[in-house]
Structure 1
Amino acid sequence: MSALTARFDVPLGRNAPRAARHAATAVLTGWGYADDIWLDTAAVVISELVTNAVNHGGGCVEIRIESHDERVTVLVADGSSVVPRRREPDDRGGRGIALIEALAEQWGVRDHEGGKQVWADLAPCPGHRQPSGSQR
């Protein structure tokens, strides 16, 4: 069983989702996840989780990516204990949770250091190859 973990923070602000997408895509690509469609899906999930943390959370936004064999879980923590919920879309947004539900296999919320951590399990990546030099 192979397990890989990456953790990084992104500064609050409108550039946080983009920074998170770029960093997460680089990590996943380095881990051997090479399917462009899968990477795009992962980037959307990460972007929506971070956008929700920036817009509705508080404090620092922490991103954690875990890969256990073929499974990838993305976790985004913020300082707010308010649990995200689906709401009706309007001109200001409201599509994030619906997108996460559509693109991730499952998602949930847990308490994390006085705030919350929202996690999403991604579908397996087609053709995933572990980088050379890694052992299973």
Structure 2
Amino acid sequence: MSALTAYLDLPLSRDAPAAARRAVTAVLGGWGFRDPDWLDEAAVVVSELVTNAVRHGGGCVALHVEAHDDVVIVSVADGSSVVPRRRDPDGVGGRGIALIEALSAGWIVQNHEGGKRVRVELLPCPGVRNDESGSARGSAS
């Protein structure tokens, strides 16, 4: 089985979530994950992860995307060791973790170079199967 991976260092700015969304949908689409609704959900997860890293993390923000067969994992690392937690929504936020939980198979936090990495396994993409080389491909209907 071969794994597909992509890394992206992001600016610590309010433009980072949009850049991450564009990059992830382009990468995943190029790897054969082409369901538009699934790509939109993946973009929301990435946007929430990056927004949290920019708002609360500090340091460098690094996005990692990996696909092993039809399992896709996105992760965002930042310079803070503070673990994200669910909180009550208010006028400025508090919905990110709930969105990530609703749109994913699960998430974990790992120590990473003095900060943390939040890893999220996305839900399976409809219409994707694996060819013999191990890379994801859209299935013909």
SS in 1 for 2:90: coil
Match of 2:59?
Answer: 59
State how many pairs are aligned: 134
Structure 1 residue 130, shift from structure 2 partner: 6.1
Structure 1 residue 128, shift from structure 2 partner: 1.8
CA contact (8 A) 1:31 1:130 kept: no
- Aligned partners of 1:76 and 1:89: how far apart in 2? 22
Letter in 2 for 1:78: D
- Aligned partners of 1:111 and 1:27: how far apart in 2? 26
CA contact (8 A) 1:89 1:95 kept: yes
CA contact (8 A) 1:78 1:116 kept: yes
Q: Which runs of 5+ in 2 are unaligned?
A: 135-141
Match of 2:89?
Answer: 89
Does residue 1:135 correspond to 2:129, yes or no? no
Higher strand share: 2
CA contact (8 A) 2:104 2:120 kept: yes
**Cα RMSD (Å) of the superposition?**
1.3
Letter in 2 for 1:2: S
CA contact (8 A) 2:70 2:129 kept: no
- Aligned partners of 1:129 and 1:26: how far apart in 2? 19
* Per-residue Cα deviation, 1:40-76 (whole angstroms, up to 9, x for no partner): 0000000000000000001010000010000000000
CA contact (8 A) 1:9 1:63 kept: yes
CA contact (8 A) 2:70 2:130 kept: no
Match of 1:5?
Answer: 5
Match of 1:46?
Answer: 46
Q: Normalising by structure 2, report the TM-score.
A: 0.91
Moved over 2 A (4+): none
